[in-house]
Amino acid sequence: EKGGFLEDIFKQLGQFVRNEAELKGKIISSMIYPMILIAIGTGVLGVIFGFFVPMFRKGVLTRLDSLPAITTFVLGVSDIVSHYGIVLLALIAALGVTVWRTRSNPGVCRRISIFRTRAPVIGPLTRALAAARFCRLLGTMEANGVPLITAMTIARDAAGNVLMEEAIDRAIEAVRAGDPLAGPLAESGLFGDDVVEMIAVGEAAGNVDTVLLTIAETLEGRVDRLLSAAVKLIEPLLLVLIAGAIGLVAVSLILPMMQMSANV
């Protein structure tokens, strides 16, 4: 409506929505296996600490006067799980519900955005995803004649990240004052150097819309690669953690049995 090119803008926005849905589908499908691993690992460890270790303690460990330090540690964890497991689950559930209900609070939303933007693994993925959304929608509107400031104001909400939205607000004020777009985006530190350089080149050449759409495609490809790399990193890490925890329990239970055999 702003540019008077409703048919073209609807076609391109339809492509934008399809790209967003495809990207969300990839993110969800990529996280299914890690979430299954977490659920299975948590359940297995809960059964071990809540039921198996207490049974072993009653049947074997009561015969020993002293226990290895690692066994004492495992027994302590088992006591916590068996006595307070339900309370811990309730607290975790309550915390999750609280965060979910307060996610629209500006302060909470900003803290979540800071964490998502700066976290070691998900930070680069979050920044690339937010920048891709912004650049694609801004480039689409620019290509259809929407004025830059108006397009930026509309596209800022597509970023889905409070820090990115604040950076875009500062960029809007700078552009309104006559400054180029690339400068304030570079100062935010949220857009990669390559993205800022491409925008600067596009401004100099007068084809910002084409450059923005190219950036969006590049960043979407980067999101795919980062997502694949993150999943490849998370999966073996989860397996190692679960196997390590089970191995720790096994060692803690084997040591007392070896101690009993030595005393016979």
Q: What is the pLDDT of residue 197?
A: 92
Residue labelled with tokens 């990115």: 164
Q: What is the pLDDT of residue 3?
A: 47
In the DSSP assignment, the letter for residue 105 is S
Q: What is the pLDDT of residue 64?
A: 66
d(C-alpha 163, C-alpha 116), whole Å: 10
d(C-alpha 78, C-alpha 84), whole Å: 10
In the DSSP assignment, the letter for residue 181 is S
- CA of 189: how far to CAs of 3, 55, 127, 128, 146, in Å? 31, 55, 10, 12, 26
- pLDDT digit string (tens) for 6-17? 666 677 667 767
- CA of 231: how far to CAs of 32, 38, 117, 128, 175, in Å? 10, 13, 18, 16, 39
- CA of 105: how far to CAs of 115, 155, 162, in Å? 15, 22, 12
CA 204 to the chain's CA centroid: 35
List of the chain residues with pLDDT < 50:
2-3
Tell me the DSSP string of 186-218.
Answer: HHHS-S-HHHHHHHHHHHHHT-HHHHHHHHHHH
The helix (H) or strand (E) run that includes residue 122 is helix 122-143
Q: What is the pLDDT of residue 253?
A: 84
Going from N- to C-terminal start, the domains of the chain cover 6-263
d(C-alpha 257, C-alpha 157), whole Å: 62
- pLDDT digit string (tens) for 143-200? 877 888 998 998 888 777 888 888 899 999 999 998 888 899 898 888 888 899 999 9
CATH superfamily of 6-263: Type II secretion system (T2SS), domain F (1.20.81.30)
